[in-house]
Structure 1
Amino acid sequence: MKKYQRSKMIRPLLMCVVLCVVSGSSKPTEKKSRVHDEEPLSLVEHDDRKNYDYDHEAFLGRDEAKTFDQLPPEESKRRLGIIAEKIDGNKDGFISEEELKVWIKSAQKKHIYDSVEHQWKDFDVNGDGLISWEEYKNVTYGSYLDDPQADAEYNYTHMMARDERRFRVADVNGDMSADKQEFTAFLHPEDHEHMKDVVVQETMEDIDKNGDGFIDLKEYIGDMYTAEDEEEDPEWVASERQQFSEFRDKNKDGKMDKEETLDWILPSDYDHAEAEAKHLLHESDANQDGKLTKKEILDKFDVFVGSQVTDFGEALLRHDEF
Protein backbone atom coordinates (compact mmCIF):
# COMPACT_ATOMS: atom_id res chain seq x y z
CA MET A 1 0.00 0.00 0.00
CA LYS A 2 1.28 3.45 -0.84
CA LYS A 3 2.20 5.69 2.05
CA TYR A 4 2.15 9.30 0.95
CA GLN A 5 2.68 12.49 2.93
CA ARG A 6 4.09 15.78 1.74
CA SER A 7 7.29 16.69 3.50
CA LYS A 8 5.96 19.94 4.88
CA MET A 9 3.17 18.02 6.61
CA ILE A 10 5.38 15.49 8.34
CA ARG A 11 6.32 17.98 11.01
CA PRO A 12 3.85 18.64 12.71
CA LEU A 13 1.46 15.90 11.60
CA LEU A 14 3.11 12.50 11.53
CA MET A 15 5.91 13.26 13.95
CA CYS A 16 3.90 14.59 16.83
CA VAL A 17 1.76 11.74 18.08
CA VAL A 18 2.77 10.62 21.52
CA LEU A 19 0.81 7.99 23.42
CA CYS A 20 -2.32 6.58 21.80
CA VAL A 21 -4.22 5.75 24.97
CA VAL A 22 -8.00 5.65 25.08
CA SER A 23 -9.58 6.73 28.33
CA GLY A 24 -10.98 3.83 30.26
CA SER A 25 -9.43 1.25 27.95
CA SER A 26 -7.49 -1.62 29.46
CA LYS A 27 -5.18 -1.90 26.46
CA PRO A 28 -3.95 0.25 23.59
CA THR A 29 -6.42 0.20 20.74
CA GLU A 30 -3.92 1.16 18.08
CA LYS A 31 -0.21 0.97 17.49
CA LYS A 32 1.68 3.65 19.37
CA SER A 33 3.56 6.10 17.21
CA ARG A 34 6.94 7.47 18.12
CA VAL A 35 7.50 10.91 19.44
CA HIS A 36 8.85 12.95 16.61
CA ASP A 37 9.33 16.69 16.87
CA GLU A 38 8.10 19.04 19.55
CA GLU A 39 4.44 19.23 20.50
CA PRO A 40 2.77 20.84 17.47
CA LEU A 41 0.77 24.05 17.56
CA SER A 42 -1.89 22.30 15.50
CA LEU A 43 -2.45 18.91 13.90
CA VAL A 44 -3.98 20.35 10.74
CA GLU A 45 -2.06 21.33 7.62
CA HIS A 46 -0.84 24.93 7.56
CA ASP A 47 -2.21 26.06 4.21
CA ASP A 48 -3.81 29.51 4.22
CA ARG A 49 -5.02 28.96 0.66
CA LYS A 50 -7.55 26.48 2.05
CA ASN A 51 -8.37 27.90 5.48
CA TYR A 52 -6.86 29.41 8.62
CA ASP A 53 -7.57 26.41 10.86
CA TYR A 54 -3.89 25.96 11.75
CA ASP A 55 -3.62 29.61 12.80
CA HIS A 56 -6.80 29.37 14.88
CA GLU A 57 -5.49 26.39 16.84
CA ALA A 58 -2.02 27.89 17.21
CA PHE A 59 -3.42 31.20 18.47
CA LEU A 60 -6.23 29.93 20.68
CA GLY A 61 -5.25 26.40 21.58
CA ARG A 62 -7.12 23.41 20.17
CA ASP A 63 -10.01 23.26 22.62
CA GLU A 64 -10.68 27.00 22.57
CA ALA A 65 -10.50 27.02 18.76
CA LYS A 66 -13.35 24.51 18.69
CA THR A 67 -15.40 26.81 20.87
CA PHE A 68 -14.77 29.82 18.63
CA ASP A 69 -15.75 27.77 15.59
CA GLN A 70 -19.29 27.73 16.94
CA LEU A 71 -19.60 31.46 17.57
CA PRO A 72 -21.36 34.05 15.42
CA PRO A 73 -18.96 36.69 14.00
CA GLU A 74 -19.91 39.47 16.39
CA GLU A 75 -19.28 37.31 19.46
CA SER A 76 -16.06 35.97 17.98
CA LYS A 77 -14.81 39.53 17.46
CA ARG A 78 -15.84 40.56 20.98
CA ARG A 79 -13.89 37.73 22.55
CA LEU A 80 -10.92 38.34 20.28
CA GLY A 81 -10.85 41.93 21.48
CA ILE A 82 -10.59 40.74 25.09
CA ILE A 83 -7.80 38.36 24.12
CA ALA A 84 -5.94 41.14 22.28
CA GLU A 85 -5.95 43.23 25.45
CA LYS A 86 -4.56 40.28 27.42
CA ILE A 87 -1.75 39.72 24.90
CA ASP A 88 -0.62 43.34 25.22
CA GLY A 89 1.49 42.61 28.28
CA ASN A 90 3.04 46.05 28.72
CA LYS A 91 -0.28 47.79 28.00
CA ASP A 92 1.20 50.20 25.47
CA GLY A 93 -1.66 49.72 23.04
CA PHE A 94 0.36 47.60 20.64
CA ILE A 95 1.04 43.88 20.32
CA SER A 96 4.59 43.01 19.38
CA GLU A 97 5.86 39.85 17.76
CA GLU A 98 7.35 38.81 21.11
CA GLU A 99 4.02 39.29 22.90
CA LEU A 100 2.33 37.18 20.22
CA LYS A 101 4.94 34.46 20.65
CA VAL A 102 4.48 34.43 24.43
CA TRP A 103 0.72 34.10 23.98
CA ILE A 104 1.04 31.24 21.48
CA LYS A 105 3.44 29.39 23.78
CA SER A 106 1.01 29.78 26.68
CA ALA A 107 -1.80 28.34 24.55
CA GLN A 108 0.45 25.39 23.71
CA LYS A 109 1.34 24.83 27.37
CA LYS A 110 -2.33 24.93 28.32
CA HIS A 111 -3.06 22.20 25.77
CA ILE A 112 -0.32 20.02 27.28
CA TYR A 113 -1.55 20.71 30.82
CA ASP A 114 -5.13 19.84 29.87
CA SER A 115 -3.94 16.65 28.17
CA VAL A 116 -2.14 15.52 31.31
CA GLU A 117 -5.07 16.43 33.55
CA HIS A 118 -7.48 14.54 31.30
CA GLN A 119 -5.44 11.34 31.48
CA TRP A 120 -4.35 11.64 35.10
CA LYS A 121 -7.57 10.37 36.65
CA ASP A 122 -7.52 7.29 34.40
CA PHE A 123 -4.11 6.17 35.58
CA ASP A 124 -3.94 7.29 39.22
CA VAL A 125 -6.05 4.31 40.20
CA ASN A 126 -5.48 4.48 43.95
CA GLY A 127 -5.86 8.27 44.09
CA ASP A 128 -2.60 8.89 45.92
CA GLY A 129 -1.52 11.76 43.66
CA LEU A 130 1.07 9.64 41.87
CA ILE A 131 0.98 7.29 38.89
CA SER A 132 3.12 4.24 39.43
CA TRP A 133 4.51 2.20 36.56
CA GLU A 134 2.33 -0.70 37.72
CA GLU A 135 -0.79 1.50 37.53
CA TYR A 136 0.07 2.75 34.08
CA LYS A 137 0.98 -0.72 32.82
CA ASN A 138 -2.18 -2.36 34.18
CA VAL A 139 -4.51 0.30 32.80
CA THR A 140 -2.83 0.43 29.40
CA TYR A 141 -1.97 -3.23 28.87
CA GLY A 142 -4.43 -4.95 31.21
CA SER A 143 -6.17 -7.10 28.63
CA TYR A 144 -2.88 -8.14 27.06
CA LEU A 145 -1.39 -9.05 30.43
CA ASP A 146 -4.47 -11.13 31.25
CA ASP A 147 -4.37 -13.00 27.94
CA PRO A 148 -1.23 -12.42 25.83
CA GLN A 149 -2.55 -14.68 23.06
CA ALA A 150 -5.82 -12.82 22.60
CA ASP A 151 -4.46 -10.11 20.31
CA ALA A 152 -1.45 -10.84 18.16
CA GLU A 153 -1.91 -7.84 15.87
CA TYR A 154 0.79 -5.80 17.59
CA ASN A 155 3.88 -6.64 19.59
CA TYR A 156 2.60 -5.38 22.92
CA THR A 157 5.61 -6.81 24.75
CA HIS A 158 7.86 -4.51 22.72
CA MET A 159 5.50 -1.55 23.16
CA MET A 160 5.35 -2.10 26.91
CA ALA A 161 9.13 -2.30 27.15
CA ARG A 162 9.46 1.00 25.28
CA ASP A 163 6.91 2.62 27.57
CA GLU A 164 8.76 1.37 30.64
CA ARG A 165 12.05 2.70 29.32
CA ARG A 166 10.50 6.11 28.70
CA PHE A 167 8.78 6.02 32.10
CA ARG A 168 12.10 5.35 33.83
CA VAL A 169 13.74 8.30 32.08
CA ALA A 170 10.85 10.59 33.00
CA ASP A 171 10.94 9.34 36.60
CA VAL A 172 13.66 11.70 37.79
CA ASN A 173 13.78 10.49 41.40
CA GLY A 174 13.77 6.83 40.39
CA ASP A 175 10.88 5.65 42.59
CA MET A 176 8.90 4.25 39.62
CA SER A 177 6.02 6.61 40.42
CA ALA A 178 5.33 9.76 38.44
CA ASP A 179 4.10 13.04 39.84
CA LYS A 180 2.43 15.57 37.53
CA GLN A 181 5.72 16.95 36.24
CA GLU A 182 7.22 13.52 35.60
CA PHE A 183 4.05 12.25 33.96
CA THR A 184 4.05 15.31 31.71
CA ALA A 185 7.61 14.47 30.67
CA PHE A 186 6.48 10.90 29.97
CA LEU A 187 3.52 11.95 27.81
CA HIS A 188 5.29 14.90 26.14
CA PRO A 189 9.01 14.05 26.18
CA GLU A 190 9.76 16.32 23.24
CA ASP A 191 9.35 19.33 25.56
CA HIS A 192 11.90 18.19 28.17
CA GLU A 193 15.65 18.37 27.83
CA HIS A 194 16.36 15.20 29.83
CA MET A 195 14.02 13.21 27.55
CA LYS A 196 15.73 14.05 24.25
CA ASP A 197 17.88 10.92 24.17
CA VAL A 198 14.87 8.61 24.49
CA VAL A 199 13.04 10.58 21.78
CA VAL A 200 15.96 10.04 19.42
CA GLN A 201 16.22 6.39 20.43
CA GLU A 202 12.55 5.70 19.69
CA THR A 203 12.80 7.50 16.38
CA MET A 204 15.85 5.58 15.23
CA GLU A 205 14.37 2.26 16.32
CA ASP A 206 11.36 2.89 14.09
CA ILE A 207 13.20 4.14 11.00
CA ASP A 208 16.48 2.21 11.15
CA LYS A 209 15.18 -0.92 9.44
CA ASN A 210 18.55 -2.63 8.99
CA GLY A 211 19.50 -2.10 12.62
CA ASP A 212 22.93 -0.58 11.99
CA GLY A 213 22.35 2.35 14.33
CA PHE A 214 21.99 4.93 11.54
CA ILE A 215 19.28 6.28 9.23
CA ASP A 216 20.32 6.10 5.60
CA LEU A 217 18.63 7.83 2.67
CA LYS A 218 16.48 4.83 1.78
CA GLU A 219 15.21 4.53 5.36
CA TYR A 220 14.66 8.29 5.59
CA ILE A 221 12.54 8.41 2.44
CA GLY A 222 10.85 5.10 3.25
CA ASP A 223 9.53 6.54 6.50
CA MET A 224 7.55 9.13 4.50
CA TYR A 225 6.76 7.46 1.23
CA THR A 226 6.61 4.00 -0.31
CA ALA A 227 6.14 3.91 -4.06
CA GLU A 228 3.95 1.37 -5.77
CA ASP A 229 5.39 -0.72 -8.60
CA GLU A 230 6.41 1.38 -11.62
CA GLU A 231 5.16 4.52 -9.92
CA GLU A 232 7.14 7.69 -10.49
CA ASP A 233 8.18 9.49 -7.32
CA PRO A 234 6.39 12.80 -6.70
CA GLU A 235 8.43 16.00 -6.85
CA TRP A 236 8.55 16.46 -3.09
CA VAL A 237 10.44 13.17 -2.72
CA ALA A 238 13.26 14.53 -4.88
CA SER A 239 13.25 17.63 -2.70
CA GLU A 240 13.54 15.46 0.43
CA ARG A 241 16.45 13.55 -1.07
CA GLN A 242 18.19 16.87 -1.56
CA GLN A 243 17.32 17.94 2.00
CA PHE A 244 18.87 14.74 3.29
CA SER A 245 22.12 15.13 1.39
CA GLU A 246 22.52 18.88 1.92
CA PHE A 247 21.16 19.43 5.43
CA ARG A 248 20.31 16.23 7.32
CA ASP A 249 23.55 14.32 6.65
CA LYS A 250 25.88 16.98 8.00
CA ASN A 251 29.09 14.94 7.88
CA LYS A 252 28.29 13.65 4.37
CA ASP A 253 28.75 9.97 5.19
CA GLY A 254 25.43 8.97 3.60
CA LYS A 255 23.53 8.41 6.83
CA MET A 256 22.27 10.18 9.94
CA ASP A 257 23.73 9.37 13.34
CA LYS A 258 22.09 10.18 16.68
CA GLU A 259 23.22 13.81 16.73
CA GLU A 260 22.04 14.42 13.18
CA THR A 261 18.73 12.72 13.95
CA LEU A 262 18.27 14.92 17.02
CA ASP A 263 18.90 18.02 14.93
CA TRP A 264 16.32 16.78 12.43
CA ILE A 265 13.47 15.98 14.81
CA LEU A 266 14.15 18.58 17.52
CA PRO A 267 15.98 21.43 15.77
CA SER A 268 17.40 23.97 18.17
CA ASP A 269 17.27 26.74 15.58
CA TYR A 270 13.53 26.58 14.83
CA ASP A 271 10.76 27.85 17.09
CA HIS A 272 7.22 27.01 15.94
CA ALA A 273 5.65 29.68 18.13
CA GLU A 274 8.02 32.34 16.81
CA ALA A 275 7.33 31.30 13.21
CA GLU A 276 3.58 31.47 13.80
CA ALA A 277 3.88 34.89 15.49
CA LYS A 278 5.77 36.20 12.46
CA HIS A 279 3.11 34.74 10.17
CA LEU A 280 0.21 36.31 12.07
CA LEU A 281 2.02 39.65 12.15
CA HIS A 282 2.66 39.49 8.41
CA GLU A 283 -0.99 38.66 7.70
CA SER A 284 -2.45 41.41 9.90
CA ASP A 285 -0.02 44.33 10.09
CA ALA A 286 -1.90 46.68 7.76
CA ASN A 287 0.46 49.67 8.13
CA GLN A 288 3.59 47.51 8.18
CA ASP A 289 4.99 49.07 11.36
CA GLY A 290 6.05 45.73 12.84
CA LYS A 291 3.37 45.61 15.52
CA LEU A 292 -0.37 45.14 15.77
CA THR A 293 -3.14 47.26 17.18
CA LYS A 294 -6.37 45.81 18.51
CA LYS A 295 -8.13 47.19 15.43
CA GLU A 296 -5.71 45.47 13.05
CA ILE A 297 -6.33 42.17 14.81
CA LEU A 298 -10.11 42.60 14.73
CA ASP A 299 -9.99 43.59 11.07
CA LYS A 300 -8.37 40.20 10.42
CA PHE A 301 -10.38 38.24 12.95
CA ASP A 302 -10.88 35.39 10.48
CA VAL A 303 -7.11 34.78 10.52
CA PHE A 304 -6.94 34.65 14.30
CA VAL A 305 -10.16 32.93 15.35
CA GLY A 306 -12.70 32.55 12.55
CA SER A 307 -16.33 31.83 13.33
CA GLN A 308 -19.49 30.34 11.96
CA VAL A 309 -23.09 30.71 13.02
CA THR A 310 -24.47 27.45 14.41
CA ASP A 311 -27.34 26.29 16.55
CA PHE A 312 -24.93 26.00 19.44
CA GLY A 313 -23.76 29.59 19.26
CA GLU A 314 -25.95 31.01 21.98
CA ALA A 315 -25.07 28.25 24.44
CA LEU A 316 -21.39 29.00 23.96
CA LEU A 317 -21.73 32.71 24.61
CA ARG A 318 -21.50 32.02 28.34
CA HIS A 319 -17.85 31.51 29.25
CA ASP A 320 -16.11 32.48 32.50
CA GLU A 321 -13.19 34.20 30.78
CA PHE A 322 -15.42 36.36 28.59
Structure 2
Amino acid sequence: MKLIFAGTPDFAACALEALIAAGHDIPLVLTQPDRPAGRGMKLKPSAVKTVAMQHGLRVEQPPTLKTPEAQAMIREIGAEVMVVAAYGLILPQSVLDMPARGCLNIHGSLLPAWRGAAPVQRAIQAGDRQTGITIMQMDAGLDTGAMLTRHPLEIDALETSGTLFARLTRLGAEAIVATLSQLDALTPQAQPTEGVSYAHKISKQEALIDWSASADAIARMIRAFNPAPGAHTLLNGEPLKLWMAEALSGTAEPGLIVRADTDGILVGCGAGLVCLSELQAPGARRLPVRDFLAGHAGLTGTHLG
Protein backbone atom coordinates (compact mmCIF):
# COMPACT_ATOMS: atom_id res chain seq x y z
CA MET A 1 0.00 0.00 0.00
CA LYS A 2 1.24 3.52 -0.80
CA LEU A 3 1.57 5.40 2.48
CA ILE A 4 2.69 8.70 3.91
CA PHE A 5 3.98 8.30 7.45
CA ALA A 6 3.89 11.15 9.98
CA GLY A 7 5.42 10.78 13.44
CA THR A 8 8.25 11.90 15.69
CA PRO A 9 9.29 9.89 18.83
CA ASP A 10 10.24 6.24 19.45
CA PHE A 11 6.57 5.26 19.66
CA ALA A 12 6.21 6.30 16.00
CA ALA A 13 9.61 5.05 14.87
CA CYS A 14 8.76 1.48 15.88
CA ALA A 15 5.58 1.66 13.78
CA LEU A 16 7.53 3.00 10.80
CA GLU A 17 10.00 0.10 11.09
CA ALA A 18 7.10 -2.36 11.13
CA LEU A 19 5.45 -0.80 8.07
CA ILE A 20 8.73 -0.93 6.16
CA ALA A 21 9.22 -4.58 7.14
CA ALA A 22 5.66 -5.34 6.00
CA GLY A 23 6.56 -4.15 2.50
CA HIS A 24 4.50 -0.97 2.25
CA ASP A 25 5.53 1.72 -0.22
CA ILE A 26 6.39 4.84 1.82
CA PRO A 27 7.46 7.63 -0.56
CA LEU A 28 7.25 10.37 2.10
CA VAL A 29 7.94 10.55 5.83
CA LEU A 30 6.93 13.64 7.81
CA THR A 31 8.47 14.44 11.18
CA GLN A 32 9.10 17.41 13.45
CA PRO A 33 12.09 19.68 12.78
CA ASP A 34 15.35 18.73 14.52
CA ARG A 35 15.49 20.02 18.10
CA PRO A 36 18.42 21.07 20.32
CA ALA A 37 19.32 18.34 22.81
CA GLY A 38 22.05 17.34 25.24
CA ARG A 39 24.55 19.47 27.09
CA GLY A 40 25.83 21.04 23.88
CA MET A 41 22.28 21.71 22.68
CA LYS A 42 23.15 20.41 19.24
CA LEU A 43 20.33 19.77 16.81
CA LYS A 44 19.14 16.18 17.11
CA PRO A 45 16.94 14.38 14.56
CA SER A 46 13.77 12.68 15.72
CA ALA A 47 13.62 8.92 16.13
CA VAL A 48 11.41 8.75 13.04
CA LYS A 49 13.87 10.72 10.93
CA THR A 50 16.68 8.43 12.03
CA VAL A 51 14.77 5.32 10.96
CA ALA A 52 13.67 6.88 7.67
CA MET A 53 17.21 7.93 6.78
CA GLN A 54 18.53 4.45 7.58
CA HIS A 55 16.10 3.04 5.02
CA GLY A 56 16.71 5.73 2.40
CA LEU A 57 13.22 7.22 2.64
CA ARG A 58 12.42 10.81 1.75
CA VAL A 59 12.03 12.89 4.91
CA GLU A 60 10.43 16.33 5.14
CA GLN A 61 10.18 18.43 8.30
CA PRO A 62 7.74 21.30 7.73
CA PRO A 63 7.05 23.38 10.87
CA THR A 64 3.36 23.41 9.91
CA LEU A 65 1.04 21.65 7.48
CA LYS A 66 -1.10 24.71 6.97
CA THR A 67 0.97 26.29 4.19
CA PRO A 68 0.17 25.79 0.48
CA GLU A 69 3.71 24.42 -0.04
CA ALA A 70 3.35 21.71 2.60
CA GLN A 71 -0.08 20.72 1.35
CA ALA A 72 1.07 20.58 -2.28
CA MET A 73 3.92 18.26 -1.24
CA ILE A 74 1.46 15.88 0.42
CA ARG A 75 -1.06 16.06 -2.42
CA GLU A 76 1.45 15.17 -5.12
CA ILE A 77 2.30 11.86 -3.43
CA GLY A 78 -1.17 10.48 -4.13
CA ALA A 79 -1.08 8.24 -1.06
CA GLU A 80 -3.82 5.76 -0.24
CA VAL A 81 -3.39 6.31 3.49
CA MET A 82 -1.48 8.62 5.82
CA VAL A 83 -0.43 6.86 9.03
CA VAL A 84 0.01 9.24 11.96
CA ALA A 85 1.66 8.39 15.29
CA ALA A 86 2.60 11.02 17.88
CA TYR A 87 3.43 13.49 15.11
CA GLY A 88 2.97 16.66 17.14
CA LEU A 89 1.48 18.85 14.39
CA ILE A 90 -2.17 19.58 13.68
CA LEU A 91 -3.48 18.13 10.41
CA PRO A 92 -5.83 20.63 8.74
CA GLN A 93 -9.04 19.27 7.25
CA SER A 94 -7.63 19.77 3.76
CA VAL A 95 -4.75 17.40 4.62
CA LEU A 96 -7.06 14.89 6.31
CA ASP A 97 -9.02 14.71 3.06
CA MET A 98 -6.02 14.16 0.76
CA PRO A 99 -5.23 10.42 1.10
CA ALA A 100 -7.71 8.33 -0.86
CA ARG A 101 -8.56 6.22 2.20
CA GLY A 102 -8.00 8.83 4.88
CA CYS A 103 -5.57 9.35 7.74
CA LEU A 104 -5.17 6.65 10.39
CA ASN A 105 -3.88 7.44 13.87
CA ILE A 106 -2.16 5.03 16.28
CA HIS A 107 -3.48 6.16 19.68
CA GLY A 108 -2.17 4.86 23.01
CA SER A 109 -5.45 4.13 24.77
CA LEU A 110 -8.71 2.28 24.31
CA LEU A 111 -10.82 5.13 23.01
CA PRO A 112 -12.94 6.95 24.01
CA ALA A 113 -10.91 6.82 27.23
CA TRP A 114 -7.93 9.16 27.50
CA ARG A 115 -8.19 11.27 24.41
CA GLY A 116 -5.36 13.78 24.23
CA ALA A 117 -1.66 14.24 24.89
CA ALA A 118 -0.80 11.94 27.81
CA PRO A 119 -2.95 8.79 27.69
CA VAL A 120 -0.29 6.47 29.13
CA GLN A 121 0.51 8.63 32.16
CA ARG A 122 -3.12 9.38 32.93
CA ALA A 123 -4.14 5.72 32.75
CA ILE A 124 -1.52 4.78 35.36
CA GLN A 125 -2.30 7.81 37.50
CA ALA A 126 -6.00 6.91 37.51
CA GLY A 127 -5.31 3.33 38.53
CA ASP A 128 -6.71 1.80 35.34
CA ARG A 129 -6.20 -1.94 35.01
CA GLN A 130 -6.35 -1.97 31.23
CA THR A 131 -5.29 0.24 28.34
CA GLY A 132 -4.30 -0.52 24.77
CA ILE A 133 -4.00 0.77 21.23
CA THR A 134 -6.79 2.15 19.07
CA ILE A 135 -6.35 2.57 15.32
CA MET A 136 -8.77 5.32 14.36
CA GLN A 137 -9.73 7.36 11.34
CA MET A 138 -8.69 10.93 12.00
CA ASP A 139 -11.13 13.82 11.90
CA ALA A 140 -10.90 17.46 12.96
CA GLY A 141 -11.63 16.68 16.63
CA LEU A 142 -9.26 15.68 19.43
CA ASP A 143 -9.03 11.89 19.00
CA THR A 144 -12.74 11.72 18.19
CA GLY A 145 -12.59 9.81 14.90
CA ALA A 146 -14.23 6.48 14.11
CA MET A 147 -12.41 3.39 15.38
CA LEU A 148 -11.13 0.66 13.08
CA THR A 149 -9.48 -1.71 15.58
CA ARG A 150 -8.86 -1.82 19.35
CA HIS A 151 -6.07 -3.84 20.95
CA PRO A 152 -6.30 -4.25 24.77
CA LEU A 153 -3.30 -4.48 27.10
CA GLU A 154 -3.33 -5.19 30.83
CA ILE A 155 -1.54 -2.70 33.11
CA ASP A 156 0.76 -4.39 35.63
CA ALA A 157 0.38 -3.56 39.32
CA LEU A 158 3.68 -1.63 39.57
CA GLU A 159 3.78 -0.36 35.99
CA THR A 160 5.58 2.88 35.21
CA SER A 161 4.89 5.06 32.18
CA GLY A 162 8.28 4.01 30.83
CA THR A 163 7.54 0.29 30.93
CA LEU A 164 3.99 0.76 29.64
CA PHE A 165 5.16 3.02 26.80
CA ALA A 166 7.58 0.31 25.71
CA ARG A 167 4.86 -2.33 25.61
CA LEU A 168 2.39 -0.04 23.86
CA THR A 169 5.04 0.94 21.32
CA ARG A 170 5.43 -2.68 20.25
CA LEU A 171 1.67 -3.22 20.29
CA GLY A 172 1.05 -0.09 18.22
CA ALA A 173 3.46 -1.26 15.53
CA GLU A 174 1.78 -4.66 15.37
CA ALA A 175 -1.69 -3.08 15.37
CA ILE A 176 -1.16 -0.72 12.44
CA VAL A 177 0.32 -3.48 10.28
CA ALA A 178 -2.58 -5.80 11.11
CA THR A 179 -5.18 -3.08 10.53
CA LEU A 180 -3.81 -2.13 7.11
CA SER A 181 -3.71 -5.79 6.08
CA GLN A 182 -7.46 -6.11 6.66
CA LEU A 183 -8.52 -2.58 5.81
CA ASP A 184 -10.94 -3.64 3.07
CA ALA A 185 -12.88 -5.81 5.53
CA LEU A 186 -13.11 -3.29 8.37
CA THR A 187 -16.12 -1.09 9.11
CA PRO A 188 -15.34 2.10 11.07
CA GLN A 189 -17.23 2.30 14.36
CA ALA A 190 -18.18 5.62 15.93
CA GLN A 191 -16.78 6.12 19.41
CA PRO A 192 -19.36 5.65 22.17
CA THR A 193 -20.52 8.76 23.99
CA GLU A 194 -20.04 7.09 27.38
CA GLY A 195 -16.60 6.61 28.93
CA VAL A 196 -14.99 9.70 27.42
CA SER A 197 -12.00 11.05 29.35
CA TYR A 198 -9.22 13.49 28.51
CA ALA A 199 -5.49 12.96 29.05
CA HIS A 200 -4.32 16.51 29.56
CA LYS A 201 -0.63 17.29 29.07
CA ILE A 202 1.50 16.74 32.19
CA SER A 203 2.83 19.92 33.79
CA LYS A 204 5.92 20.11 35.99
CA GLN A 205 3.86 21.95 38.60
CA GLU A 206 1.54 18.99 39.18
CA ALA A 207 4.52 16.67 39.73
CA LEU A 208 5.09 18.14 43.23
CA ILE A 209 3.85 15.60 45.76
CA ASP A 210 1.15 16.55 48.25
CA TRP A 211 1.69 14.14 51.13
CA SER A 212 -1.83 14.75 52.43
CA ALA A 213 -3.15 12.77 49.46
CA SER A 214 -3.75 9.03 49.78
CA ALA A 215 -0.87 6.59 49.48
CA ASP A 216 -2.54 4.97 46.46
CA ALA A 217 -2.78 8.31 44.64
CA ILE A 218 0.81 9.29 45.46
CA ALA A 219 2.31 5.92 44.45
CA ARG A 220 0.39 5.93 41.16
CA MET A 221 1.52 9.51 40.48
CA ILE A 222 5.18 8.63 41.09
CA ARG A 223 4.98 5.70 38.66
CA ALA A 224 2.93 7.69 36.13
CA PHE A 225 5.51 10.49 36.01
CA ASN A 226 8.42 8.07 35.52
CA PRO A 227 10.37 8.82 33.30
CA ALA A 228 9.01 12.34 32.78
CA PRO A 229 8.61 14.84 34.28
CA GLY A 230 9.49 12.96 37.50
CA ALA A 231 7.53 13.36 40.73
CA HIS A 232 9.39 15.41 43.31
CA THR A 233 9.37 16.57 46.92
CA LEU A 234 11.80 18.23 49.35
CA LEU A 235 14.27 16.59 51.70
CA ASN A 236 15.92 18.98 54.17
CA GLY A 237 14.96 21.83 51.86
CA GLU A 238 16.58 20.24 48.80
CA PRO A 239 14.64 18.84 45.83
CA LEU A 240 14.31 15.08 45.69
CA LYS A 241 12.94 13.11 42.74
CA LEU A 242 11.02 9.91 43.36
CA TRP A 243 10.92 7.24 40.68
CA MET A 244 9.36 4.11 42.17
CA ALA A 245 6.81 3.63 44.93
CA GLU A 246 4.23 1.23 46.29
CA ALA A 247 1.24 1.96 48.52
CA LEU A 248 1.02 0.07 51.82
CA SER A 249 -1.41 0.00 54.72
CA GLY A 250 -0.61 1.88 57.91
CA THR A 251 -0.95 5.28 59.54
CA ALA A 252 1.54 8.10 60.03
CA GLU A 253 1.71 11.88 59.81
CA PRO A 254 1.76 13.01 56.16
CA GLY A 255 5.35 13.41 54.95
CA LEU A 256 6.92 11.75 58.01
CA ILE A 257 9.58 9.13 57.28
CA VAL A 258 8.70 6.34 59.69
CA ARG A 259 11.34 3.90 58.47
CA ALA A 260 14.36 4.01 56.17
CA ASP A 261 16.20 0.80 55.40
CA THR A 262 17.14 -1.39 52.48
CA ASP A 263 13.51 -2.55 52.15
CA GLY A 264 12.43 1.01 51.35
CA ILE A 265 11.74 4.44 52.76
CA LEU A 266 8.31 4.40 54.38
CA VAL A 267 6.46 7.74 54.37
CA GLY A 268 3.17 8.74 55.93
CA CYS A 269 0.34 10.00 53.70
CA GLY A 270 -3.19 11.32 54.15
CA ALA A 271 -4.29 7.68 54.12
CA GLY A 272 -1.86 4.78 54.17
CA LEU A 273 1.91 4.69 53.68
CA VAL A 274 4.12 4.95 50.61
CA CYS A 275 7.24 2.80 50.29
CA LEU A 276 9.88 4.53 48.14
CA SER A 277 12.38 2.26 46.41
CA GLU A 278 14.13 4.47 43.81
CA LEU A 279 15.19 8.08 44.40
CA GLN A 280 17.40 10.81 42.98
CA ALA A 281 19.13 13.65 44.83
CA PRO A 282 20.16 16.87 43.01
CA GLY A 283 23.12 16.32 40.71
CA ALA A 284 23.10 12.58 41.33
CA ARG A 285 21.94 9.50 39.45
CA ARG A 286 18.75 7.62 40.04
CA LEU A 287 19.51 5.10 42.76
CA PRO A 288 17.84 2.08 44.33
CA VAL A 289 17.04 2.72 47.97
CA ARG A 290 19.99 0.67 49.25
CA ASP A 291 22.50 2.89 47.40
CA PHE A 292 20.59 6.09 48.15
CA LEU A 293 20.70 5.43 51.90
CA ALA A 294 24.47 4.93 51.76
CA GLY A 295 24.73 8.67 51.28
CA HIS A 296 21.66 9.73 53.28
CA ALA A 297 21.74 8.22 56.75
CA GLY A 298 19.48 9.11 59.65
CA LEU A 299 16.30 9.79 57.68
CA THR A 300 13.88 8.12 60.09
CA GLY A 301 11.82 10.76 61.90
CA THR A 302 12.47 13.52 59.33
CA HIS A 303 9.87 14.97 56.99
CA LEU A 304 9.51 15.15 53.21
CA GLY A 305 7.88 18.14 51.57
Taking structure 2 as the reference length, the TM-score comes to 0.23
Greater percentage in strand? 2
Taking structure 1 as the reference length, the TM-score comes to 0.22
Greater percentage in helix? 1
For CA contacts below 8 A with separation 6 or more, give which structure has more relative contact order.
Answer: 1
